[in-house]
Amino acid sequence: MKYSPRDTEESARGITRRGLVLGGMQLAFMGGLAARMRYMQVEQADQFRLLAEENRINIRLLPPARGMIFDRNGHLVAGNEQNYRIVMVREDAGDVEEVLARVARIIRLTPEEIDRALKEIMRRSPFVPVTVADRLSWEDVAQIAVNAPALPGVAPEVGLSRIYPLAEDFAHVVGYVGPVSDYDLSRIEDPDPVLQIPRFQIGKTGVEAKEELRLRGKAGTKRIEVNAVGRVIRELDREPGQPGADLQLTVDHGLQNFIEARLSGESAAAVVIDLAEGDLLSLASAPSFDPNKFVRGISVADYKALTENPYRPLANKTVQGTYPPGSTFKMVTALAALEDGQITPEETVYCPGYLEVGGRRFHCWKHGGHGHVSLEESLQQSCDVYYYEISRRVGIEKIAEMARRLGLGDRFELPLSAVAGGLTPTKEWKRENRGAEWVVGDTLNAAIGQGFVLASPLQLAVMTARLATGRSVTPRLIKSVDGVEQPSGLGAELGLSPALLAKVQRGMFSVSNSRRGTAYGSRIADDALLMAGKTGTSQVRNITAAERARGVSRNEDLPWERRDHALFVAFAPFDAPRVAVSVVVEHGGGGSSAAAPIARDIVLRALHGEVPPLSSYPQNQRREIEERLRALPLRAPLPPAPGRSRA
């Protein structure tokens, strides 16, 4: 078909228009693309450069050196040691199980350790180093290095791990560290990123746990160059972290070790307070344990031995244990009655061996009674009837108020685990917690430290310190942080009448220094160091009327767990008090026979600053005491460790 000239002309014009539209669209697209490229390359250049750098550079955390802990004289009680370990990167290892099997043929790895390492490796990102084994010898590390070509993804490293050179002596005070667990992370609202480092150690108990933030320090960083899949190419630079703060405790290692040795074989606790500053010179709980085992990974057998021991070695009895204070509470009742004017120091109460109230007899420990006794004699001989009578006059509310003034029922703010508040009962407390009204028998029982009353060895030591000084002595455990002295615990005046307080102190002096005193057998022979104290025996079972009729069973005839607790509190020297002491021996029997001799040894060790000389003991006891002191498993203190420079 032949087109006419007109048709050809119109067709040419149509093609031209379409060409112009298409060309314009192409030109617009190219212009937009050029503008976008200019925008990205010029105006957003810095942003894309940053994104590229972040893809090329990784930042990894460097764990900080944990702060060290010293005793009051500079002896290291918690430090860091070099720890050789091997780590594995899953991405580089390939067949992880096969590589672990090769490692196990070179160094000793138990099936449990292999299984634990495998689980940890699979939990982490493929390029994150995971610790396979630590605390290795140099020979083991060398073997791994020699066999490196056959161990893809495995590398030796040197880090720091916690060590407790004094082991059992400070286990309950300092505590121990361990790897961060999922439970630990769940309790922290905003966890520090350093806690995500595999096997990073944090405090689990004691000062290590309570002072974790101070001791941990701040992590450092290192910048490393990685390839597209995250494999490390080289390290570019690093910024060291800030080490944790060094802590100095108030505890004296020599005294602490002596007391731990003296309590050996008992389930017991002892506390020593320096009266000048309120410093806790010793917090000893027996039996103890080796915290290094927890850091290194305690075995099932060792842990089972600790948890199944009836003496409860894992418990810090000095602050966690609460006991009926028994007759050591009688000074509280006496001061409450004296301050309220219900009795005078010279007034006597007749003790026939019991007090009958509401048709019920409340017995004195001495079956035949003490006869007429004054305040001093009541403390000296520990007459129960005297305190039954004066407690009826003053009432439980005034007794409870005095107890709180002397530190009982107070949960002291110390960096220790599970510090107990004890119990100073009142009428309101019984209504709220027992759903019953207070009766006079409750008051009589409380007056001699039985019934609902509970106190820890720490609280009993604080009570004794306040009785000795008339001041609100508050216990202090941290002496300094990085060399900065912490506030004193001496406290202000309690507002007690000095004359009445002196009468109570005199009664305590008679306990240890009068021939009729319950602790006369544990007196101190050195006139410059005479001790004032008070024995206590708290029952853990009810004595029935039938048992009283046939004769109360002796403690030594009962199973251990049914025997009475033995207690003793003391301060010395009497004329110028320097230390206050409390001792609790669980199921030890009588306070005068079980706790008082221990307390005397502790007082003398604290005052002399060394193993007590035999001249401080009565002549007729020296041979026996010499044998006992010589047999103590004492540890020679380590030389003072240099502090870490903060420059």
Distance CA 468, CA 577 (A): 7
Which residues, in sequence order, are CB contacts of 440 under 8 Å at separation 6+? Answer: 357, 358, 392
Residue 197, CA atoms < 13 Å, CB-side half-sphere: 18
DSSP one-letter code for 14 = H
Q: Which residues of 612-638 are buried (b: 16+ CB within 10 A; e: fewer)?
A: beeebbeeebeeebeeebeeeeebebe
Give the Cα separation of 276 and 579 in Å (integer): 8
C-alpha–C-alpha distance, residues 497 and 502, integer Å: 8
β-pairing verdict for 360-363 and 220-226: unpaired
Q: Which DSSP string corresponds to 266-287?
A: S-EEEEEEETTT-BEEEEEEES
Distance, CA of 380 to chain centre: 36
Pairing of strands 247-249, 69-70: parallel
Question: Which of 607, 537, 598 has its CA nearest to residue 574?
Answer: 607
Q: From the CB of residue 114, how many other CB atoms can be counted at a distance below 10 Å?
A: 17
Residue 617: which region, alpha, beta or left (left: phi > 0; alpha: psi -120 to 50)? Answer: beta
H/E run at residue 82: strand 76-88
Distance of alpha carbon 570 from alpha carbon 518, whole angstroms: 13
Provide the terminal-to-terminal Cα distance of the chain, rounded to the nearest Å: 102
CA distances from 431 to 437, 439, 440, 453 (A): 6, 11, 14, 15
Q: Catalytic site residue 456?
A: no
d(CA 258, CA 256): 5
Name the maximum alpha-carbon separation found in the chain. 152
Name the catalytic one among 282, 327, 391, 472.
327
Q: List Cβ neighbours of 467 (8 Å cut-off, separation of 6 or more).
A: 331, 406, 501, 504, 505, 508, 571
DSSP secondary structure string for all residues of 386-414: HHHHHHHHH-HHHHHHHHHHTTTT-----
What residues contact 342, with CB distance under 8 A and at least 6 apart?
Answer: 390, 393, 394
Q: Would you call the peptide bond into 577 cis, given omega within 30 degrees of 0 as the criterion?
A: no
Token pair belonging to 369: 């009674």
**Which residues form the catalytic set?**
327
